Amino acid sequence: MIVPNDNRLPPLNGLVLIGGKSQRMGSAKEKMHWHGKEQVYHLADMLGNYCDEVYISCRVEQFDEIADGKEMTSTYAWISDRYTDIGPMGGMLTAFEFRPDRAWLVVACDLPLVDPEAIAYLIQHRDPRRIATAFKSQQDSLPEPLFAIWEPSSLPVLRQMQAQHKLSPRRALIQHQALTIEAPRANTLVNVNTPAEADSVKAMINNKD
């Protein structure tokens, strides 16, 4: 199901975050094949059904590695982080400074169970009066910042936090009263950081199929 953007809202772009170093996994999480193709392209293709523009956020050296000998990179739009070593906030700030008039639907590459239903649900419940709309974690009821819609009004908040070396996007959501909603499925926010977690999620996907 494709959810049309409301013309009264700030236009919505998609941002796939792949800038992590995957140290605990031991291999690049964005290259894992959960759904028939590398996860980075699977997420970008899904977001393309809901967002005006979709970009893949990565480190500068990471793009050079990915682009080496691969035609696939020219099919997608990429943004290299202007901020180094500050985690996902760097990718988000870079995207906002590139298009500050846009809201950004941010998805991290280590969330293999994000699906069209969850994306559509998040968009349907979006509240542009808040700095962001995010799903609530089943484990601790805290908002998940890396599968959320961040509105243009969040840019000054993120800039201020970065200047203060407070680099947690989740803290921004909590302190500035972002809208939090229940995910349509309990396992939507399951993330994968280790080989054991990957095996567990593969079993979930196989059982679903």
Which residues belong to the annotated binding site? 17-19, 29, 81, 110
Residues annotated in a binding site for GTP: 17-19, 29, 81, 110
Helix-, strand-, coil-residue percentages of the chain, each rounded to 5: 35, 20, 45
How long, in residues, is the chain? 209
Joined tokens for residue 96: 């906002």
Residues annotated in a binding site for Mg(2+): 110
Joined tokens for residue 78: 């990429």
Give me the helices (H) in 48-194, please. Answer: 60-67, 88-98, 116-124, 155-163, 169-175
User: Could you give the dihedral angle defined by the CA atoms of residues 142, 148, 153 and 155, in that order, rounded to the nearest 10 degrees?
Assistant: 90
- The SS3 of residue 31 is helix
